A and B are shown apart, each in its own frame.
Chain A
Amino acid sequence: MSEPAIPEVTWTRKDLVGIADLSVEEIELILDTADSFQEVSQRSIKKVPTLRGKTVLNLFFEPSTRTRSSFELAEKRLSADALNFSGSGSALSKGESLIDTARNLEAMAPDLVIIRHQHPGVPHMLAQRLESGVINAGDGAHEHPTQALLDAFTIRQHKGRLAGLAVTIVGDIEHSRVVRSNIHLLVKMGAQVTVAGPRTMMPAAVEKLGVRVSYDLDEALTDADVVMMLRVQLERHGQSLFPSTREYFQLFGLTQARLAQAKDDAIVMHPGPMNRGVEISSAVADGKTSVILEQVANGVAVRMAVLYLLSLAQQGDG
């Protein structure tokens, strides 16, 4: 169980609550560190002692299969002790305030807290109040930083760079935390980002985030290096944002024919879970250009890197 070769680090952040406040150097450091950890996942014994004796709380107030499993696997491969705490059946569902939950967690003195919550800002709130490091695993429609990092990691593997790439993100832009984190990351790293989707799912003033907005899928796909499709929910809180899945697929569903507008070596991504036949055809999802399963695999390495860097920042604090 040899330690992976980890790059020289200067990481000082206690928390990872979003991409918005990260520097280019910090993003590169995480991606480079993930490179090293990916090697661990390729060994026959996929475990290193890096976080032995550290306690990680996985606090999921919203259902999650893939992000949660990915974090758990990352924790196990780093030899951390993981404790799972989910929204249903937890104190919060019994009416305890989030602040009281936070105080109770604090008393257990975990080293790191992974938090997924339906309300934007909850990871920030915990980060301000807990001495533990806090990692945002998705807060409402705000941020999902480790998803954007694993997406960038995957793009870098295929394209060798992020700067100068044309990335098109398609779907329900308004309600997607994946989009916001990806926009922040890709714009910082010098990619050209286009967001496309129905006008009823486009957030106000999104162009102020440094992206181009398109309401025409064919136009948006033209000469793209990377196409990122989002999961679409046609109904939210009983409000219909689109008439039907059939009509959605006609306007914004990604098919082989439409993908032809993109560059020949374009890759297709999806954060999952996919709605086949709604936002993406099975032919594209399972096709040669799809890197969707690689994203999942890379997620573990990226989350190992983040866990490792945050635990480093805590050393010395006692």
Chain B
Amino acid sequence: MASGVKQGSGMKQGGGMRQGGGMRHIVRGGRVVDPSQGIDARLDLLIEDGRVARLAEHLDSIPGVEETDASGLVVTPGLIDIHVHLREPGFEYKETVESGLRSAAAGGFTAVACMANTQPVNDHRAITELILNQARLHPYARVYPIGAVSKGLAGQELAEIGDMVKAGVVAISDDGLPVMNAALMRRALLYAQHYEVPVIQHAEDLDLTGDGVMHEGEWSTRLGLPGIPGVAEDVMVARDLLLSADTAGRYHVAHLSTGRSLAMVREAKRRGVAATCEVSPHHLLLTDQEVATSGFSTAMKMKPPLRDRSDVEALIAGLQDGTVDAIASDHAPHHPDEKDVQFSVAPFGILGLETTVSLCLDRLVGGGILELSRLVHLLSTGPASVLGLPGGSLAPGEVADITLLDLEREVTVNADAFGSMSRNTPFDGWQLRGAAVGTLLDGQPVLDG
């Protein structure tokens, strides 16, 4: 596959591209873990013109060519977070494209896909272009914008999906809100096929959610907080899987959180439905009980809500058996003034870009739940495949986006030191083993390790 780089259209390069022209670079001495090729071995890696040129047990130094010393580190395809909120335009007091990309690079990500619920909404080409222009000015990581399904996220009429795809969007979603109207969802699944982009659903039946603010179960009962039943997600996933099968449209479940939804996706995949799903680290590591033990901490408030132990166990089984295609953080910055209020009125959402890798290395790999190569798959190859993005592989000819991991590094999560402008994390103070220590974009180091 000399030049067989998967690249559906020339547009899928993401914002933040650098000029790698003529440059060579060697990444030396690392343990290369590339699930796309089934590689887990100590290898040197030569980059030419921003693409992977060669992997070999030993590469001679080339005069004038800079090297990255990766000895003692793990070298992986650049990690990709396909679910983040960069908040620009409109909510620059929470996050900007610049701060969000700094946060991504600090967390070990070389690419992010950003949701459309900005102000104005990314429901037309001008906003897509604005986001990509900002990304070009701050090339810490690539940005793949996701366009809205409906104009203004209003759930009424389709946005100009084709025009946005030409401008660079890689998927469509009304995330933050579900597409409640089944007819609109069906239309989106049909229409998006013209442009070969998936429809990403924030699966939640708002009538079943009502005024709910946390998972409905023992802990919502104890705390007297209105509950969001798991079935609010399940009925939407069930409906959408039927629509996906009926239309042959590509369907992706964002932040899937319940055991029943996972089982339905597993079964649909078996039938050949074009469905994929992602899960978020907090849904794998925390349960609804945390709302009580944290004393109503609003850092425990997000959508979907933290579920119960049986859901967590089902999601972990889904990671292990391949039902889950990607781990995505749903990075959702909010200003401290917005979060420092009573639980019932605080906005939903928590940060994720700077905690995901260490949490997954420590709790999932360190905890014996996943092999390292499986985790790398879920953070790179898997998400690239869900959205049809370049990367996710270090095969020769692929774009040389690379993440360096130190499995031994001990870190303490410190929200005050985040690259993000916001601080809303439930993991502040957690001591974790394993961290991303650097990224390369187009073969060039992004931030000093």
Contact = CB atoms under 8 A, between A and B. Distances in A.
A73 to B, nearest CB: 27
Of the candidates A97, A98, A128, A203, the one having the most CB atoms from chain B within 10 angstroms of its own CB is: A203
A187 B225 CA distance: 21
A120 B217 contact: no
Contacts of B181: none
B218 A208 contact: yes
Contact of A203 (B220, B343, B345): B220
Interface string A130-141: 000000000111
A45 interface: no
A208 B343 CA distance: 23
Contacts of A47: none
Contacts of A107: none
Chain A interface size band reads: 20 to 34
A237 B340 CA distance: 25
Given A119-B345, A204-B220, A124 B225 contact: no
B210 A237 contact: yes
Contacts of A24: none
A203 B342 contact: no
Contacts of B340: 97, 99
Of the candidates A125, A204, A237, the one having the most CB atoms from chain B within 10 angstroms of its own CB is: A204
B344 interface: yes
Nearest to A237: B211
Nearest to A205: B218
A98 B222 contact: no
A239 interface: yes
B220 A209 contact: no
B191 interface: no
A122 B344 CA distance: 10
B216 interface: yes
B216 A204 contact: yes
Chain B interface size band reads: 20 to 34
Contacts, number: 70
A143 interface: yes
A303 interface: no
Contact of A121 (B218, B221, B226, B295): B295
B341 interface: yes
A206 B221 contact: yes
A120 B345 contact: no
Contact of A140 (B216, B222, B224, B341): B224
A99 B298 CA distance: 14
Contacts of A208: 218, 221
Interface in B309-361: 337, 340-345
A206 B221 CA distance: 7
Contacts of A140: 224-225, 344
B218 A98 contact: no
A293 interface: no
B218 A120 contact: no
Interface string B133-149: 00000000000000000
Nearest to B207: A239
Contacts of B259: none
A20 interface: yes
Contacts of B210: 237, 239
Given A99-B340, A237-B210, A237-B211, A120 B221 contact: no
A231 interface: no
B223 interface: yes
A97 B341 contact: yes
Interface in A69-96: none
A177 interface: yes
Contacts of B222: 20, 180, 209
Given A121-B295, A124-B296, A125-B342, A142 B225 contact: yes
A303 B384 CA distance: 62
B221 A119 contact: no
Top 10 nearest A-B pairs by Cβ distance? A142-B224, A121-B296, A141-B224, A203-B221, A205-B218, A119-B344, A119-B342, A208-B218, A120-B224, A204-B216
Given A121-B342, A180-B221, A180-B222, 4 more contacts: A120-B225, A174-B221, A204-B217, A204-B221
7 contacts: A98-B342, A117-B342, A121-B342, A122-B342, A139-B224, A204-B216, A209-B221
Interface of B: 210-211, 216-218, 220-227, 229, 295-296, 337, 340-345
